[in-house]
Chains A and B, each alone.
Chain A
Amino acid sequence: MPADGVLGRLRAAAAGGGPDNPDPVRVADAHDTIAGVPARYVAAPRDTAQAAALLRAAADLDLAVTVRGGGTRQDWGSPPRRLDLILDTTALAGVVEHAAGDLITVVRAGTRLDELAATLAGARQQLALDAPLPGGTIGGAVATNASGPRRMLYGTARDLLIGVTLVRADGVVAHAGGKVVKNVAGYDLAKLVTGAYGTLGLVTECAFRLHPLPAAAAYVTRRVGDAAEAGRLAGTVRAAQLAPAALEVDAPAGGGAAVTVLLEGTPAGVAARAEATRRLLGADATASDEAPDGWGRYPWRGGDIGLKLTAALSGVPGLLADARAAADRHALPLALRGSAGVGVLHAGVPGTADPERVGCLVDALRAATAAVAGHAVVLTAPPAVRDRVDLWGPVDGLALMRRVKQRFDPDARLAPGRFVGGI
């Protein structure tokens, strides 16, 4: 079919779906790539009905589709095997409902996290997901299940997402969960689409449970000699009765390390706990109401290699030591930072590193994480490194996952190849 024929049919579908959005479909330009793969068309639906009409048309036209939110994490996962249409969620934005008395909100998926935060702050509430830099959307945060420091207290997107509206590959609209925190009617499809990288459907609306904004917060930091020592100190903090909101280690490639404890609560309570934490961490620990440098950021920059390392909690100090030793062995600078309090660390290696050596380091990190019941996943990497390493590593239950993908997207048109096992 000639290109303009496809465009016409997508436009017709979109017009059927939403009358007041005259031209949500266009031909892709040079910027419309996903992890380096160029698209042919871009469509920016404004609501669920229009998105459904577009996905139905895409199904009829056998177009491969990848969703784009803020585009900040498009280099995560593998490039799509096939790409015709980018479904851009930037117009699918806005807070649908904020029931402050019920501590819930319903938002469209393209809403930016920072915009939502500003809306909720008016009622002294928050969606307790860390989002340190502007631009990322709710849909992207859900689809990648990214997590930041405060997951220790509040959990991750999977724990906060209580209801979801999604449009399937065939254009059918489905809801699961709802607007109440407690709900066990039917399968929890919200969990299924969290962290699925848009391979099971387009998420158009999310209902979240909210938390009150804490009245007070304090960061208590102690610098130590190396990463493993930081890990051990984190263990000491966990064993105490401090109930931290976050417990982070930061071990830059250059050496040295720090442990930071975030305390949230009432002003009096936080002051007392910050003092207790300072005593526990040792004489030179400092307390501040400002986050330390790099707090909640990944320890890598655009173009670098970024990994997520997980571990059973008792294995965190050992993993920090092993990771450092492996990097030294392969003569690679490795920056480690993350949530020692929950067993999730992030690691960064400069994008200029030799792919062969990076491959060896990834193998070593996989062995080190496997020894502590965890995983090492390469979230982002330059093409030369992607060619050398398996991004995801071993995945339990992969056969079942393939069957789930097959049921939801039998023609493999949604972000094909982006996810585990080439799903």
Chain B
Amino acid sequence: MSTTTTDLAALGAALRAAIGADRVISDRQELRTYECDGLAQYKVVPALVALPVDAAQCAAVVRACVAAGVPFVARGSGTGLSGGALPHADGVLIVTSRMRDILEVAPADERAVVQPGVINLAVSRAANPHGWYYAPDPSSQQICSIGGNVAENSGGAHCLKYGFTTNHVTGVELVTPDGDLVRLGGRAPDAPGYDLLGAFVGSEGTLGIATEVTVRLTRLPESVRTLLAAFESTDQAGAATSAIIAAGVVPAAVEMMDALAISAAEAAVHCGYPAGAGAVLIVELDGPEPEVAAQFDQVERLCRDNRAFEIRIAVDDAERALFWKGRKSAFAAVGRISPDYIVQDGVIPRTALPEVLRRIGELSAERGIRVANVFHAGDGNLHPLVLFDASVDGQTERAEEVSGAILDLCVRHGGSITGEHGVGMDKAKYMPRMFTDDDLDTMQLLRCAFDPAGLANPGKVFPTPRLCGEVPGRRKGVHPAQEAGLAEVF
């Protein structure tokens, strides 16, 4: 796909005519603002940036791209950690930051309808006065967009009990990769037909651009209780987690931090976690008061039975916020104890936690690379922070090796290469470690149904784009795209 400068100039003019000159950026310096998302190791300056204000403009931009045969990439807030919103050098970056209206908060329907650029936390802020909130709560909730959440099927600390974005989005309006506006789902459940909404959520901008999202609102719980338990080791904290789950309790959240993550958080935000802890657990229960009261006692006992040496119970919201502060700032805090770090995101079955953490420890020791662990223990979603110093020879490579080895470890234990950050650009090469060629080809059938021309966020998620004209399942030998030097097999 190579596009000439004159083609792009013509496309720029078409976009200006379609959505207004002040909504199209072509100045090189301004374009640089958009060269990466939250994963700064990949940088590409887009050819053009479009800032549509509504669905019709968004569709007009996509149609102009289709007419020009130019790829387009959607971008919400650009907080993605897998390079999903990494621009295409010859393409248009479609940014939703001017689509930030909350169109409706309808508590009686348990729904809110929002434009894609609306910030996650803004939905809860709008719903709170009515007694409702939006449950999926990525740590980035103060800055990430609902459109980005839909594209990534984002999760958060409370997903153990409440599920992920896909369980909380009941409708989208999208611009298909050929420029049509289509509605899937809405306020009522179970629209007839294929669950294309379910397939769209988590598709990382490769099946079109969401222009309106209908989300489920959740009732603010009657009661919330939070405890912080300190253990000597992650093994003990892991055992406590398993015991809680085995007892039939489904907490709203179970989060774990290891010693290195704790010390990073202390240095940054002085959260005052118990001294000498090898691991802390934050366990939160919510729901009707009588249920929470009964289960909270049980959780506290199970933590003690599994050798928690200190348990603190939040007496009020301020104290609860303090417990969470250390956890929520952990990613950023690591920046204080290491010049560079990789935020990894892998998933394992919860019961494999002790074994996998031990192995990560060994990998770290073998390669001389520190790894801090902060994670959603309840659902086995690890976030190892792999620390390194890029100015030291060879450390970057070693850190990447450790980071990749951790993913292999996850796959070997029957887990996933990503629990919430997505595949994007960054992990496309790992997809074949989890999926066979046939699996990936089958996913491409869906891709080709939506995007036969392959213009929607090309090069993301899949290591080798399959050409949509091919007969399914009949591929033998070297892929033609590979032979033509158009794609690489990792």
Contacts and interface: CB of A to CB of B under 8 A. Distances in A.
A194 interface: yes
Interface string B74-106: 000000000000000000000000000000001
B66 to A, nearest CB: 16
Contact of A189 (B153, B184, B199, B415): B199
B194 A404 contact: yes
Contacts of A174: 436, 438-439, 441-442
A333 B325 CA distance: 59
B317 interface: no
B250 A373 contact: no
A265 B195 CA distance: 31
A272 B288 CA distance: 10
A192 B180 CA distance: 21
Interface of A: 99-104, 124, 145, 147, 155-156, 158-159, 166, 168, 170-176, 178-189, 191-192, 194-196, 200, 211-215, 235, 238, 241-243, 265-266, 268-269, 271-273, 308, 310-315, 342-344, 369, 372-375, 377, 392-393, 395-401, 403-408, 410, 419-421
Interface in B247-269: 248-250
Given A182-B347, A312-B187, A187 B202 contact: yes
Given A182-B416, A211-B250, A396 B449 contact: no
B63 to A, nearest CB: 16
A311 B188 CA distance: 5
Interface in B230-257: 242, 245-246, 248-250
B190 A145 contact: yes
Interface of B: 106, 108-111, 152-153, 155, 159, 163-164, 166-167, 176, 180, 182-199, 201-203, 219, 221-222, 242, 245-246, 248-250, 287-288, 290-291, 293-295, 347-351, 376, 379-381, 414-423, 427, 431, 434-436, 438-443, 445-450, 461, 472-473
Nearest to B164: A182
A171 B293 CA distance: 53
Contact of A192 (B176, B198, B473): B198
A182 to B, nearest CB: 4
B388 to A, nearest CB: 25
Contact of B199 (A175, A192, A314, A369): A192
A404 to B, nearest CB: 4
Contacts of A186: 423, 431, 434-435, 439-440, 443, 461
A129 B472 CA distance: 34
A56 B197 CA distance: 30
B355 to A, nearest CB: 13
Contacts of A180: 347-349, 379-380, 414-416, 419
B196 A401 contact: yes
B250 A172 contact: no
Most buried by A among B180, B416, B419, B447: B416
A192 B190 CA distance: 13
Contact of B248 (A124, A238, A313, A314): A124
Given A314-B106, A375-B191, A403 B153 contact: no
A155 B167 contact: yes
A406 B418 contact: no
Contacts, number: 276
A170 B194 contact: no
A194 B163 CA distance: 18
Given A269-B294, A403-B450, A396 B167 contact: no
Contact of A194 (B195, B203, B295, B445): B195
Given A188-B198, A372-B188, A375-B188, A182 B449 contact: no
Closest 10 A-B residue pairs measured CB to CB? A191-B198, A212-B248, A174-B442, A269-B291, A374-B188, A312-B187, A314-B108, A272-B290, A182-B419, A183-B416
Contacts of A212: 248-250
Contacts of B293: 269
Contacts of A272: 288, 290
Contacts of B184: 396-397
B248 to A, nearest CB: 3
20 contacts: A102-B349, A145-B195, A166-B442, A170-B472, A174-B436, A174-B439, A174-B441, A174-B442, A175-B436, A180-B348, A184-B155, A184-B421, A186-B435, A186-B439, A212-B249, A314-B106, A344-B190, A369-B188, A392-B192, A405-B194
Given A189-B443, A265-B291, 12 more contacts: A155-B163, A172-B441, A172-B442, A174-B436, A184-B422, A191-B195, A192-B194, A269-B293, A343-B189, A396-B185, A397-B184, A407-B449
A406 B449 contact: yes
B111 A241 contact: no
A183 B189 contact: no
Nearest to A103: B245
A313 B110 contact: yes
Contacts of B422: 184
Nearest to B421: A184
Contacts of B415: 178-180, 183
A179 B438 contact: no
Contacts of A373: 186-188
A375 B438 CA distance: 36
Contacts of B420: 182, 184
Contacts of B434: 178, 185-186
Contacts of A124: 248
A323 to B, nearest CB: 14
Contact of A184 (B153, B288, B443): B153
A158 to B, nearest CB: 6
Contacts of B443: 176, 186-187, 189
A50 B394 CA distance: 50
Contact of B349 (A179, A265, A268): A179
A400 B472 contact: no
A243 B250 CA distance: 14
Contacts of A215: 248
Nearest to B131: A239
Contacts of A374: 188
A108 B160 CA distance: 26
